[in-house]
Structure 1
Amino acid sequence: MSGAQFTLFSHKGGPNGWKVAIVLEELGLTYDTKFLDFQSGEHKADSHTKYNPNGRIPTLIDHKNGDFVLWESDAIIAYLVDTYDKERKISAADGTKEKYQELQWLFFQASGQGPYFGQAVWFSVFHPEKLPSAIDRYKNETKRVLSVLETVLSKQEWLVGNKASIADISFIPWNDLAINAVLGEGFDFIKEYPAVAAWHAKLGERASVKKIRDDKEKAKTA
C-alpha cells in the first residue's frame, strides 16, 4: 500500500470509475487505482467480490475510515462530498433544497444516462450482431437524455445552484463516451445541443477533468 487514503477498483475504459476519480481529484484526496481485467474475470473474482458482491466497478475503500467499503458510483460520490467536502466546493449543504436537487440529478444520471448510454455503446460497438432496432432505440434514448439536459441548461449555467457540483460532474465520462462512440459521424453536438455542449466544454476546462482524461489515455496504453 502506498499510503494513499483510498483504493479505487476501476476499469480502464468504464466511465463510472473515472467519474469517481474526478471527484477524488476535485477534493484533493489521495487514491490508488486498481484496474480490473474484465476479460480474465477479475471483477468477478473473490478478491474483488469480497468487497463488492455485484462484481462491477467502481468499488472504493476508505482506509482512513476503518477501511469502509462502498460501491455504486453515485453512492460513492455522495459519500465523498458528505464526508470530505466540508466547504461544499462541489456539493450542496445538507438540508437544503439544492441538496435534494443534487440527488435528483445523481439518480437521473444513474437510472437514465448510464444505462441508456451504456446500452448504446454495447449495441453500437461491442455486440457481435448488428441489430439496427436496438442501435436506433438506444441512440434515440441517448438523445432523449441530452434533450432533458438541454431543456434545463438552456435556462441556467449549472444543473444545481450557481456553481459546478457533483450533479454536473457525474455526467462527464458517459457524455465523453457517447459523443465519441455512440452518436458518431454526422452528429453535430454544438448544433443539436448547444447548451449541453457549452456546459460540457466548461466542465472539461476543470483541472480535475483534464487530469482524469489524460490519466485515462495513459491507462489505455499501459
Structure 2
Amino acid sequence: MSHGKHFTLYTNTIAPNGWKVVFVLEELGLTYESVYLNFDENEHKSPEFTKLNPNGRIPALVDHKNGDSVIWESDAIILYLADKYDTERRVSVSDEKERYSLIQWLFFQASGQGPYFGQAVWFLRSHPEQVPSAIERYRKEVLRVFSVLDSVLSKQEWLVGDKPTVADISFIPYNHGAFHLIIKDYAGVDVQKDYPAFFAWHQKLISRDSVKRAFAIQESLNKH
C-alpha cells in the first residue's frame, strides 16, 4: 500500500464509528486512505487487522507521519486528531475546563449513545427473532439520549463553548442512523416537535461541508 497519504483508516462502508473519524479528517483537511473491511468475511477479525486493533473492531487509524503509530477506538482517534492536528482549534478547545467538558461528551457518546443505539438497530434489523421488549427498551434509551442532548442544547447552541467541536461531531452518525432506522416508524414520536433544540443542532451539523462530503462518499460506496 502506498503511504502517500498522511493516514490509513481501517473502517467499513456502513458502520457509524468509522464515519465519525472521516468527518473529523475532512473537517481538518487531512489526507487519508480508507481500507474498507468486509464484516461478512470477518476481515476485522483477521490476524492482519488484530495486529493493529486487538479488539477486532473498526476503526483503526495509522498515522504515517508519526512513525506509523496506530490508534483505535473512534473517540480516542478523534481526540488524537484534535489534539495533534487541529492547531487552529477549529473543532477543538484550548481552555482546560472546556477540554474536560469535551472529553466528558466523548465519553457520553461512547457509553451512553453508541451501545444503546447499536442494540436498537440489532434487535430491529439483525436479531434472528423479534423480541418486542428489547426493541422497546432500546428505543426508549434512544429517546432518553435525545432528551439529555435537548435539555443541554435548549440552553446553549453547542455542547462545548460557543462553537461546534469534535464533541458535537461524534454524535452525528448514530443520530443520523436513529432517524432512519430506529424511530422512523415509532408511533407518537416527532423528533422535531418533541426535541426541537436537539433536532436543530443535528440539522446544523449535517449541513457542514465536511459532513456532506463524507456522506457523499458513503452513499457512493453503498450503491447497489
Take 2:207 and 2:6, find their aligned partners in 1: how far apart are those partners?
26
How far residue 221 of structure 1 moved from its aligned partner, in angstroms, is: 2.2
Is the aligned partner of 1:161 residue 2:174? no
AA matched with 2:194: E
Take 1:137 and 1:216, find their aligned partners in 2: how far apart are those partners?
29
Take 1:190 and 1:71, find their aligned partners in 2: how far apart are those partners?
34
User: Could you say which residue in structure 2 is the equivalent of 1:54?
Assistant: 55
Per the normalisation by structure 2, the TM-score is 0.97
Take 1:160 and 1:105, find their aligned partners in 2: how far apart are those partners?
9
User: Could you say which residue in structure 1 is the equivalent of 2:102?
Assistant: 102
Unaligned runs of 5+ in 1: none
Take 2:190 and 2:8, find their aligned partners in 1: how far apart are those partners?
38
What per-residue deviation string (whole Å, max 9, x for no partner) do you get for residues 18-44 of structure 1? Answer: 000000001110000011000011000
Take 2:81 and 2:3, find their aligned partners in 1: how far apart are those partners?
20
AA matched with 1:156: Q
Take 1:84 and 1:175, find their aligned partners in 2: how far apart are those partners?
26
How far residue 192 of structure 1 moved from its aligned partner, in angstroms, is: 1.4
Pairing of 1:33-182 with structure 2 (within 5 A):
33-93=34-94, 96-182=96-182
What per-residue deviation string (whole Å, max 9, x for no partner) do you get for residues 117-164 of structure 1? Answer: 000110011111110000000000010011100000011100000000
AA matched with 1:30: T
The answer to whether the 8 Å contact 2:44/2:58 transfers is yes
Per the normalisation by structure 1, the TM-score is 0.97
AA matched with 1:134: A
Take 2:220 and 2:20, find their aligned partners in 1: how far apart are those partners?
16
How far residue 191 of structure 1 moved from its aligned partner, in angstroms, is: 0.9
How far residue 188 of structure 1 moved from its aligned partner, in angstroms, is: 1.9
Moved over 3 A (4+): none
How far residue 2 of structure 1 moved from its aligned partner, in angstroms, is: 5.3
Q: 1:215 aligns with which of 200, 214, 217?
A: 217
User: Could you say which residue in structure 2 is the equivalent of 1:201?
Assistant: 203
Take 1:192 and 1:56, find their aligned partners in 2: how far apart are those partners?
34
AA matched with 1:128: P
Take 1:62 and 1:8, find their aligned partners in 2: how far apart are those partners?
9
What per-residue deviation string (whole Å, max 9, x for no partner) do you get for residues 37-71 of structure 1? Answer: 00011000011111000000000000000000000
The answer to whether the 8 Å contact 2:23/2:211 transfers is yes
Take 1:104 and 1:219, find their aligned partners in 2: how far apart are those partners?
33
SS at match of 2:13: coil
Take 2:48 and 2:56, find their aligned partners in 1: how far apart are those partners?
10
Q: Quote the RMSD (CA, aligned, Å).
A: 1.0
User: Could you say which residue in structure 1 is the equivalent of 2:7?
Assistant: 6
Unaligned runs of 5+ in 2: none
SS at match of 2:10: strand
Take 1:217 and 1:188, find their aligned partners in 2: how far apart are those partners?
26
Alignment identity in percent?
58
AA matched with 1:171: F
